[in-house]
Amino acid sequence: GEIDLIMRDKETVVFVEVKTKKGYSWGSPEEMFTRGKYERVKRMANVYLKGREVACRIDMVAVVLNAQNEAVSVQHYENVMQL
């Protein structure tokens, strides 16, 4: 398993899942963050934390690219699911 980004927001450890899609056909990047993917991120976050008691959250960044691979939309969603 993998976590795309591990960041800090003051005293909070933030695990960030980045979903990128070309265009909007077949759904949005947000729809790609399924329950199964969340469970994998949660499991890896718990391994990273190794039982330490720290504030943490899972964020998601959704990126949509155009045909030239340029970002046309970047959305950041904080605390999308609880650890």
Return the domain boundaries, the chain. Answer: 5-81
Closest CA to 38 of 28, 49, 50, 30: 30
Report d(CA 37, CA 42) in Å as an integer. 9
Query: How distant, in Å, are the alpha carbons of 49, 62, 72, 81 from that of 21?
Result: 30, 8, 10, 21
At 62, is the pLDDT very low, low, confident or very high (cuts 50, 70, 90)?
Answer: very high
The domain 5-81 having CATH identifier 3.40.50.2000: the answer here is no
Report d(CA 49, CA 53) in Å as an integer. 8
pLDDT tens profile 41-54? 999 999 999 988 99
pTM of the model: 0.88
What is the DSSP code (8-state) at residue 68?
Answer: T
Residue with structure tokens 């949660």?
Answer: 42
pLDDT tens profile 3-21? 999 999 999 999 999 999 9
